[in-house]
Structure 1
């Protein structure tokens, strides 16, 4: 990944974290990594653990940010979330997967938040 893309991604993740915090979410972790993948943001929305994938774009040349969440990426996020919940003794707690799209097309970023964007496959 180029340094410019990494900076854009980090900037988008910061905007998403600020947006979620302002919406009442409590940020638990950012860039949580396991061997099987990474989760951009782990947050709490009330009693629910929320695993958030952030996709950032500067324009629409590559489509809407949500279009980049492939089935393979969803599986990676699900496996990583399961490990997180297991390691923290939270397997019985409610959880969901959200996606936040951040588009920097003008002065102010356009933020789109899709709650419960996909569901976990049964093990």
Structure 2
């Protein structure tokens, strides 16, 4: 991964955490990794566990950030979430999968943040 992409992703995740908190949610962890995949943000919204996928883009050449989440990526996030819930004995908890799409200009200034609840 190039520095440009890594930098874009990090900035996007920082903005996404702020968006999650503005909605009154509590962030449990960031960048959860297990053998089944990664979850960008895990938060709590009341009694619901929220698994958040963050997508960031600096150009529109490949479409909107949220359009980059295909069925395979959604399935991978779901599997990692099931693992997280099992390991943390949260198997009976309500959960949902949200997406935060962050669009920036080439200098890294945020142009738009879209929060998509129950995205997949």
Q: How does 1:1-123 map to 2 (within 5 A)?
A: 1-105=1-105, 107-118=109-120
The gaps in structure 2 that reach 5 residues or longer are none
TM-score (norm. length: structure 2): 0.94
**Partner Cα distance (2:80, 2:102) in 1:** 23
SS in 2 for 1:16: helix
**Partner Cα distance (2:20, 2:75) in 1:** 23
CA RMSD of aligned residues (A): 1.1
SS in 2 for 1:13: helix
The gaps in structure 1 that reach 5 residues or longer are 119-123
Bigger mean CA offset, 26-35 vs 108-117: 108-117
**Partner Cα distance (2:89, 2:110) in 1:** 40
* Structure 1 position 8, deviation (Å): 0.7
**Partner Cα distance (1:105, 1:11) in 2:** 12
TM-score (norm. length: structure 1): 0.92
* Structure 1 position 108, deviation (Å): 3.9
SS in 2 for 1:116: coil
Paired residue total: 118
SS in 2 for 1:31: strand
SS in 2 for 1:102: strand
